[in-house]
A and B are shown apart, each in its own frame.
Chain A
Amino acid sequence: MFEFKLPDLGEGVHEGQIVNVLVKEGDTVAEYQPMLEVETDKAAVEIPAPKAGRVAKIHVQTGQVVKVGQVLVSIDEAGAVAAAEQPATAAPVPPAGKATLGVAVGPPAPTVVGPKPTSVETEPAQPVAAAPAVRRLARELNVDIAQVPGTGPGGRVLREDVERFAAGRAAPAAAVPGAVGPARTSVAGAELPDFSQYGPVRREVVPQIRKTIARQMTRAWVNVPRVTHCDQADITELERNRTQYNEAVGPDGTKLSLTAIVIKAVAAGLRRFPMLNSSYDAAAEEIIYKDYVHIGVAVDTPRGLVVPVLRDADRKSLPQVAAELVDLSQRARAAKFEIADLRGATFTITNVGALGGTFVTPMVNYPEVGILGLGRARMEAVVRDGQIVPRLMLPISLSFDHRVVDGADAARFVADLIRSLENPLRLISLM
């Protein structure tokens, strides 16, 4: 019998919530056939069967939170053949001498045999190597010690490991001394009133993805002194060119979207304004400049906000970026992506324009330092050479981390971006 455990889902991801069980007990599954959908910190992923066989037992149910290493499904590898009996792989029965019947003598048993714990989770193979006082500290800090990476000899969990874990909870990186603890999503003392006294209310359990967004947003809010610089780009010419290009490209070619063009323009800009392509290490008081440009693109999916990453946007051609953008959005909406697809962004772009809106104040996607928000492009009356003319204006908002980026840098970056968008030849020369 193969006991299928929840595999490692990536760095820092220790648990997930079962969203969907796709098979039933008794089903025959092929290798790699999707069996479960699990929602994690970042997004929902499909868990495929590691082996072909018959689903003997499903140990989890929809809505249950499961930990990495926890047994999810038992697969009878004997195959589709209806195997009624379980293979005898269980440990041998304890020797008869242990049975205490009748008037047998009961000397003290050395192991902890007594009361059961209240937790119903499966125990790890060996208890975590941690001294009793460290285990107590974990309890006091409400930390599951099994999740703490140990830095002591042989992977032993030390006091510092528990403290570090508690301070940085989902971000195992060193705790930021100057910043408020990011693990909470509310300020102490903010007790809710009883809303039902004012009218009917309904409560809904928060799915994993919402929990993650809440945590991430709180962390960003608390850690990043955010300022937003707003401006507008005249994209009349750009749009004319884009429409012409897309008409000419034919049914098999890749159409260019406005977002794809902005991605390329931003990517070029980030190479020229590297402080916006960095991260801030408050503990070490260092700015980490990245020699790569990966753009996170915010996608609205039925499950919530997902930000897949378009890698090396500065090195790919515009059609490549456009095609990849389409693929990423589709996969994000269909929930068909890996956790790895969501990691490593250096800058984020969010285009709410399709839904409406002008200027926005987006949240910086910590630990990045900049995010560009695009509003809806509108025909507006604009003054040019003393005349009022109709032009297609695109609202642009750049939120940035003021610890790293000053207003002047931000203004220059946006001005540079607008120059690229307003002058397509300049755009081409920068690509």
Chain B
Amino acid sequence: MVVGELAEQTEVVVIGGGPGGYVAAFRAADLGLQTTLVDVAPVLGGVCLREGCIPSKALLHVAHLMEDAQLAGEFGVTFGPPRVELDKLRAWKQSVVERLCGGINLLASKRGVRVIRGRARFEDSRTVRVDGDGVTILRFNHAIIATGSRAKRLPESIIPTDCCMDSTAALTLETVPKTLLVVGGGYIGLELGQVYAALGSRVTIMEVLDRILTGADQDLLRPLLARLKKQFDDVLTGVTLQGARKVGQEIEVTFVKDGQPQTRMFERVLVCVGRQPNSDDLGLEKTRVVVNQNGFIEVDEARRTADKRIYAIGDVAGNPMLAHKASHEGLVAAEAIAGKPSVFDARAIPAVVYTSPEIAWCGLTEEEARSKGLEIRVGKFNWAASGRAVAMGRPEGLTKVIADAGTGRVLGVGVVGQRADDLIAEATLAIEMGARAEDLAMTIHPHPSASETLMEAAESVLGTAIHMLRK
């Protein structure tokens, strides 16, 4: 510390203003703790609001809209090919982001949370130095690290940085390339792939593992794969990237698939190979905080680190890297600091892929349950038999319920189809409440709706589904 720099006191300092950080800060303030929130960006919201979840959902909405308009031809309503004004689309997406970020900033000021723009680094276990417009030294009683994550890069030798873009850059929608290679078959790559495909790009996916979207059960992927076959040029799995280089206006990519080396040309390359936690450049070595070999900060069930006054939440604290998991952890950490016996004991965390069709799951997947050797019963309901799905012209879909064979307890639910993101919430509640398949089956669901597929899938576990024949 330099002479002349005054140290300010704060009860709680939250580092990072994303869905983890701002939720933690607001809860702490609501519990009466004097809270300071530090973020590097000019507005709060983190990656989620500014350059992740929100802008991608805005663009996906547009992409799916265009897709639906095209489908309407089958119903007797034909729209001409859409005219896309990229500037206007970009501006609208930006307005969505600004509106939501503005809301967060307003909530912060109304709660009396002091917001400091700048980069925070620990000086010791009680002090943080924030470098922004000026320098602020904060002495805190408690700290919550919510610095999130950033996109992983591939080594320069495989793809030089000037040959590729990451998801943040992809969302800025500079241009719509004629051909786009998406490296990585995870949810980010697939979502962005569909956006660009809707806008006119010819998209190719390359994934190193033998299937896309590991984490989801195979049967949930089928409807998506069928659609991607039509939308994308190619979905290649088992691919090992060898190298890439600029050739004129394009990028030449060399790779190996099934033992065969190949070369293809693409106008643009998008690399989505996962994200890594932002635990570096925080000064953590000056504290007792422990970071594991994957870069995650080690925490206990109340999200406390090895340094008792410091907590860590969100992407920087571990998988799954999801905004809603970060928010929930933010509540736990704030409450723990306020002296409540809060712990992170969520029984199920939903995951959603916003492709078209959407895929969502929570609790155990069938694959996980079987690999644990659990005795399970799986009930499936095919959306071809769902009145709502057929009437929407989107009959491709599946809802599955995985239940304990002995007790009937719902262990996991998987959905593929429109509105999967809304459906999965009921499933998550069911697991949290310890519901059994019969509870889902015996609850009246509205007809016609996508939600009743959950009821039917549960009935299938019990063998009593009306709209399906027993095998």
Which residues of A pack against B, CB within 8 Å?
Answer: 90-95, 97-98, 100, 102-119, 126-132, 135-136, 139-140, 142, 154, 156
Contacts and interface: CB of A to CB of B under 8 A. Distances in A.
Contacts of A135: 345
Describe B's contact surface by its main secondary structure: loop
A322 to B, nearest CB: 52
Contact of B215 (A110, A117, A128, A129): A110
Contacts of B342: 136, 139
Interface string B198-236: 000000000111111111100000000000000000000
Nearest to A114: B318
Interface string B318-348: 1111100100000000000000111111111
B371 interface: yes
A15 to B, nearest CB: 20
B148 interface: no
> What 7 A-B pairs have minimum CB-CB distances, sorted nearest first?
A129-B434, A114-B318, A91-B373, A105-B186, A107-B186, A106-B274, A139-B341
B422 interface: no
Interface stretch (B20-28, B294-302, B380-388): B294-302
A109 B351 contact: yes
Most chain B CB within a 10 A radius of its CB, from A93, A107, A109, A119? A107
Contacts of A142: 341
B320 A132 contact: no
A95 B371 contact: yes
A132 B303 CA distance: 18
Contact of B319 (A92, A109, A127, A130): A109
B433 A114 contact: no
Contact of B364 (A108, A111, A128): A111
Interface residues of B, number: 68
Given A98-B214, A105-B273, A139-B341, A110 B299 contact: no
Contacts of A98: 214
Given A105-B214, A111-B349, A117-B300, A92 B344 contact: no
A103 B241 contact: yes
B318 A107 contact: no
B407 A154 contact: yes
Contacts of B19: none
A324 B373 CA distance: 51
A108 B211 contact: no
13 contacts: A92-B370, A102-B208, A105-B186, A106-B319, A107-B186, A107-B187, A113-B320, A115-B303, A115-B318, A117-B300, A131-B433, A142-B341, A156-B433
Contacts of A118: 300-301
Contact of B373 (A92, A117, A127): A92
Contacts of A103: 152, 154, 158, 208, 241, 273
Contacts of B409: 126, 129
Nearest to A97: B214
Interface in B255-287: 272-275
Given A102-B208, A108-B215, A132-B345, 10 more contacts: A103-B158, A105-B209, A105-B272, A107-B353, A109-B319, A109-B320, A111-B349, A114-B296, A114-B325, A127-B434
A114 B345 CA distance: 11
A97 B241 contact: no
A115 B320 contact: no
B362 interface: yes
B404 interface: yes
B132 to A, nearest CB: 30
A111 B341 CA distance: 23
Given A105-B189, A105-B207, A108-B215, A156 B434 contact: yes
A125 to B, nearest CB: 9
A140 B318 contact: no
Nearest to A101: B208
Contacts of B212: 105
Contacts of A139: 341-343
B351 A95 contact: no
B160 to A, nearest CB: 15
